[in-house]
Amino acid sequence: MEDVGRVLRPGGLAIFIEPDLTPHASPVAPGIPELIPDQWQTFWGTFRWALSTKGVDPDVPHRLKSIVEGSDRFENIVSRAINIPIGFWPTGMYAATIVPGNEIDAKIVGHIDADQLTMGQLQWMDYEALLPAARPLFKTAGLMEERVARVISEAQEILYRPNFQNGALRLYTRIYVVYANKRMGS
C-alpha cells in the first residue's frame, strides 16, 4: 500500500482488487438461505488455513477498504463487492451483480455473444485449474496426500456436478474492488 502511494502521482488513481476466499452459493428461491455443500466449504476452509500457515492473511479482501483508508495516502475511497457466478448460470443478459449494501445496488448487464464465454464460464475455468493447483500448497502446509486428494476431488465433484439437495447449485465468488486517488500534496 505504501509503495503504491509512494510511486503514484498526486491525484492519480489506484485500483485494488482482491478475490474472496469464502464460498458462496445463491439461494435457489427467495427467502431460502444460502446452502453450500460441505465439500465446497471444506476445500475453501482448507485453502484459507493453508495460506495462513504461509503467513498470508486470507481475510484481507474483507478489510481492503479499511487497509486503504489506514494508509493515509489516499482520498475519495470507493469500495465495491461484486458477485461473479461460477459455471453456466445465469443465462441471458445478466452477467454479475454488485452486492447491496456496498454503496450501490445495481446489475451489470450487457450483450452476451453466443460465441463468447460468459464471466461465469470463465470463472468456472479458473476454478477448474485452481482446485488441482492447490495440491502443493496443501501438502507443504502439512496435509497428508490422502486427505489432499479427497478434499480436491470432492470440491471437483461439486464444480463438475453442481446439484445439491435436489436442485441446481449456483456457486459464485465475490471480488472486492477498492479505488482511490492519491492525496494531493502527498
The conformation of residue 31, written as its DSSP 8-state character, comes to T
The residue assigned the cell 503467513 is 55
For residue 158, what are the domain limits?
2-182
The conformation of residue 133, written as its DSSP 8-state character, comes to H
**CA gap 162, 140 in Å, rounded:** 29
Specify the range with the lowest mean pLDDT, choosing from 82-86, 90-94, 100-104, 161-165. 100-104
Q: Give percent of the chain above pLDDT 70.
A: 77
Instruction: Indicate the number of domains in the chain.
Output: 1
Report the pLDDT averaged over residues 120-137. Answer: 93
165: left (phi over 0), alpha (psi -120 to 50) or beta: left
**pLDDT score recorded for residue 119:** 81
Q: Give percent of the chain above pLDDT 90.
A: 53
pTM: 0.80
Q: Which three cell numbers stand for residue 150?
A: 479427497
The residue assigned the cell 470440491 is 155
Predicted confidence (pLDDT) at residue 135 exceeds the cutoff of 90? yes
22-33 burial by CB neighbour count: b if 16+ within 10 A, else e? bbbbbeeeeeee
Q: What are 13-64's pLDDT values in tens digits?
A: 999 999 999 888 876 666 666 778 889 999 999 999 999 999 999 999 999 9
**pLDDT score recorded for residue 110:** 47
